[in-house]
Amino acid sequence: MTVTARYIAWLHSIKPTARQHLGLAAMETALLLAWAILLDAILRLVTDAFLGALPVLYTMVAILLAWLEDARVSSPADPLTAKGLAEVDRTGRMPSRWRTLLRVLLTGPSFILLLAGFWPVFGGGRSLPELAAGVKLVPLDPALDPRPLEAIMTDRARNRRTVLAYTILSLVMAAALVVIHMPRVPLLVTQDGSPDAGMTEEDRQLLASYLELSAMFPDSLEFHVRLACLYYRNGMSADLAKELDDVERLDPGNPVLLLREDLDTGIEEALQPLDSMPEPSPLGFGRPPSVPFDSLGADSAGVPPDSSILPGSDGTAAPSPDQGPIEPGAEPPHGQADGLSGDA
> 55 with 149, same domain?
yes
104: number of Cβ within 10 Å: 26
| Dihedral, CA of residue 317, residue 318, residue 322 and residue 324, to nearest 10 | 90
Q: Compute the distance between CA of residue 108 and CA of residue 122 in angstroms, rounded to an integer.
A: 18
* Last-in-domain residue among 271, 300, 322: 271
98 near 134, Cβ under 8 Å? Answer: no
Mean pLDDT of 277-284: 49
117 near 111, Cβ under 8 Å? Answer: yes
Q: Compute the distance between CA of residue 70 and CA of residue 80 in angstroms, rounded to an integer.
A: 9
317: number of Cβ within 10 Å: 16
Domain count, the chain: 2
Mean pLDDT of 134-150: 85
The DSSP letter of residue 76 is S
Whole-number pLDDT of residue 124:
87
Whole-number pLDDT of residue 342:
44
> 33 with 149, same domain?
yes
Which among 79, 84, 68 has a CA at the least distance from the CA of 153?
84
Name 138's bridge partners.
Answer: 86
> 34 with 173, same domain?
yes
- Mean pLDDT across the chain: 75
Establish if 24 belongs to a structural domain: yes
3-state secondary structure of 341: strand
Mean pLDDT of 146-167: 87
CATH value at residue 207: 1.25.40
Q: Compute the distance between CA of residue 271 and CA of residue 257 in angstroms, rounded to an integer.
A: 17
Q: Compute the distance between CA of residue 220 and CA of residue 224 in angstroms, rounded to an integer.
A: 7
> 15 with 102, same domain?
yes
> 157 with 266, same domain?
no
> 36 with 153, same domain?
yes
Establish if 68 belongs to a structural domain: yes
Residue 324 has pLDDT above 90, yes or no: no
* Last-in-domain residue among 210, 243, 271: 271
Q: Compute the distance between CA of residue 144 and CA of residue 4 in angstroms, rounded to an integer.
A: 8
Establish if 117 belongs to a structural domain: yes
Q: In terms of pLDDT, which residue wins out, 76 or 128?
A: 128
Which among 62, 137, 43 has a CA at the least distance from the CA of 95?
137
Establish if 174 belongs to a structural domain: yes
Establish if 77 belongs to a structural domain: yes
Q: Compute the distance between CA of residue 316 and CA of residue 206 in angstroms, rounded to an integer.
A: 67
> 233 with 105, same domain?
no
> 80 with 168, same domain?
yes
pTM higher than the cut 0.75? no
* Last-in-domain residue among 145, 180, 215: 180
196 near 190, Cβ under 8 Å? Answer: yes
Q: Compute the distance between CA of residue 97 and CA of residue 71 in angstroms, rounded to an integer.
A: 10
Burial of 36 (0-12, 13-18, 19+ CB in 10 A): buried
Establish if 284 belongs to a structural domain: no
> 67 with 165, same domain?
yes
Whole-number pLDDT of residue 82:
86
Mean pLDDT of 169-194: 64
Establish if 88 belongs to a structural domain: yes
> 94 with 14, same domain?
yes
> 112 with 249, same domain?
no
Which among 150, 155, 177, 4 has a CA at the least distance from the CA of 83?
155
29 near 108, Cβ under 8 Å? Answer: yes
Domain residue limits at 68: 2-180
Whole-number pLDDT of residue 192:
52
Which among 309, 20, 27 has a CA at the least distance from the CA of 167?
27
> 127 with 226, same domain?
no
For β-strands 136-139 and 85-88, DSSP reports them as antiparallel
Establish if 328 belongs to a structural domain: no
Cβ partners under 8 Å of residue 258, min gap 6: none
- Which range scores top for mean pLDDT: 90-94, 196-200, 283-287, 323-327? 90-94
For 200-253, how does the pLDDT look when each residue is reduced to its tens digit (9 = 90+)?
888 888 888 888 888 888 888 998 899 989 888 888 888 888 899 999 999 998
